[in-house]
Amino acid sequence: MSRIIKMGVAAAMEALKDAELPMPDAIVTGTAYGCLADTDAFLTRMVEFNEELLSPTSFIQSTHNTVGAQIALMLHCHHYNNTYVHRGSSFEAAVLDAQSLIEEGEAENILVGSVDEIIENSHTIISRFGIYKESESNKLLNSGTNGTMAGEGATFFVFSKNKETGSIAKLEDIKTYYKTNRKAENIIHNFLMENNVRVDNIDLIILGNNGDAKTDEHYNTVAQHLFGGKRLVGYKNYCGEYPTSSAFALWMAARMIEHGKKINDETSPKKILIYNNYKLKYPSLYLLSAC
Amino acid sequence: MDKQELMQRLKDEIIKQLKLEGTKPESIGDHDPLFVEGLGLDSIDALELIVLLQQEYKIKLNNAEQGQEVFRSVSTMADFILEHQAKQV
Three-class SS state of A84:
strand
Q: Does B18 touch chain A (CB under 8 A)?
A: yes
Average pLDDT of span A165-171: 93
Q: How many domains does chain B have?
A: 1
Start-to-end C-alpha separation, chain A: 37
Q: List the single range of A66-80, A226-240, A259-273 with lowest mean pLDDT.
A: A259-273
Model confidence over A109-155: pLDDT tens digits?
A: 999 999 999 999 999 999 999 999 987 767 888 888 999 999 999 99
Pairwise CB contact (< 8 Å): A57 & B18 = yes
Answer yes or no: is pLDDT of A1 > 90: no
Give yes or no for A57 touching B (CB within 8 A).
Answer: yes
What are the domain boundaries of chain A? 3-117+152-160, 170-289
Give dist(CA B49, CA A148) in Å, integer: 43
Please identify among residues 168-207 of chain A the ones whose CB lies closer than 8 Å to any CB of chain B: none
Rounded CA separation B48/A31 (Å): 27
pLDDT at A167 over 80: yes
- Closest by CA to A277, choosing from A176, A141, A191, is A176
Question: Superfamily for A170-289?
Answer: Thiolase/Chalcone synthase (3.40.47.10)
| CATH code: domain of residue B38 | 1.10.1200.10
The answer to whether the beta carbons of residues A115 and A29 sit under 8 Å apart is yes
Asked whether this chain's domains A3-117+152-160 and A170-289 adopt the same fold, the reply is: yes
Extended beta strands in A25-105, E state = 26-30, 80-84
- CATH H-level, domain A3-117+152-160: superfamily: Thiolase/Chalcone synthase (3.40.47.10)
- pLDDT of amino acid A186: 95
Model confidence over A27-86: pLDDT tens digits? 999 999 999 999 999 999 899 888 887 888 888 889 999 999 999 999 999 999 999 999
Q: Give the rounded percent of residues in chain A with a pLDDT score beyond 70.
A: 97
ipTM for the assembly = 0.72
Q: Are A273 and A202 in contact (CB under 8 A)?
A: yes
CA A250, CA A171: separation in Å to the nearest integer? 9
Rounded-to-integer distance, Cα A98 and Cα A174, Å: 11
- pLDDT of residue A265 exceeding 60, the answer is no
Rounded Cα–Cα distance for residues A23 and A17 (Å): 10
The pLDDT score that the predictor gives to residue A230 is 84
C-alpha distances out from residue A41 to A87, A119, A126, Å: 22, 11, 18
- State whether residue A81 is helix, strand or coil: strand
Flag if B51 and A56 touch (Cβ within 8 Å). yes
> Is the per-residue pLDDT at A266 higher than 80?
no
Contact check, Cβ <8 Å, A60/B18: no
Q: Report yes or no: A53 at the B interface, CB cutoff 8 Å.
A: yes
Give the residue among A99, A100, A115 at the shortest CA–CA distance from A32: A115
**Helix pair angle (A66-75, A3-18), 10° resolution:** 50
Say whether A245 sits in a helix, a strand or coil.
coil
Other beta carbons within 10 Å of A290: 16
Contact state of B18 with A1 under an 8 Å Cβ cutoff: no
A101-118 exposure pattern, b = at least 16 Cβ within 10 A, e = fewer: bbeeeebebbbbbbbbbb
What per-residue confidence (pLDDT) applies to A263? 58
Question: Which among A181, A155, A161, A120 has a CA at the least distance from the CA of A274?
Answer: A155
Nearest to A286 by CA among A169, A172, A174: A174
At residue B24, the pLDDT reads 94
Which residue range forms the structural domain that includes residue B51? 3-88
Average pLDDT taken over every residue of chain A: 94
pLDDT at A268 over 80: yes
Q: What is the pLDDT of residue A264?
A: 58
For chain A positions 32-51, those within 8 Å of chain B (CB to CB) are: 49
